[in-house]
Structure 1
C-alpha cells in the first residue's frame, strides 16, 4: 500500500498540515498494515479504494484513541469482519 497516500489522507482528515507527527503516524500505518496482513489474513490490494480507506479510518481511530480504553467502533468492527470474510473466501477458491 502507498504509505504516503495513506498518511496524506489521515492528515487531511485530522486537519494536520505539518510534518511533526509524520513519524508517529507512519508507525501506526505500518503496524496496521502488518496486523491486517499477518494476523487477520487480509490480502490488501493497493488498487482497492475500500482497502485504502479502511486503513485510513483504522489508523485515524488508532491515533485518536491512543489514550482511551474504549474498544473499536462498531463500524470499524463490521468493516474488518467483512474484509476478513472476503479475504478468506478468495483464498479458498
Structure 2
C-alpha cells in the first residue's frame, strides 16, 4: 500500500499535524497491514478505497485504545466481510 497516503490519512484522523510521531505511526500501519495480510489472509489492493480506509480505521483504533484488546463491532464486521470476500475470490472457478 502507499505508505505516505496511509500515514497522511491516519494523521488527519488523529488530528496530528507534526512529524514527531511519524516513526511510530508508520510502524503501527505496517503492523496492521501485516496482520491483515498474514493472519486474515486478505490481499490488500492499493486501488480499493475500502481497503485503505479499513487500514487507517484499524490503526486509529489500535492507537487510541492501546490498553483494550477488544475490537469495535464496526471493525469486526468490516474485517469479517473482507475475509469472506478474500475466501470467495480463492474459490472462484
For 1:5 and 1:65, how far apart are their aligned partners in 2?
Answer: 22
For 2:7 and 2:78, how far apart are their aligned partners in 1?
Answer: 20
CA RMSD of aligned residues (A): 0.8
For 1:63 and 1:20, how far apart are their aligned partners in 2?
Answer: 15
TM-score w.r.t. length of structure 1: 0.95
For 1:70 and 1:46, how far apart are their aligned partners in 2?
Answer: 28
Residue 25 in structure 1 maps to residue 25 in structure 2: yes
Aligned residues between the structures: 92
- Cα distance, 1:69 vs structure 2: 2.5
TM-score w.r.t. length of structure 2: 0.95
For 1:85 and 1:58, how far apart are their aligned partners in 2?
Answer: 18
- The runs of 5 or more residues in structure 1 that have no matched partner are none
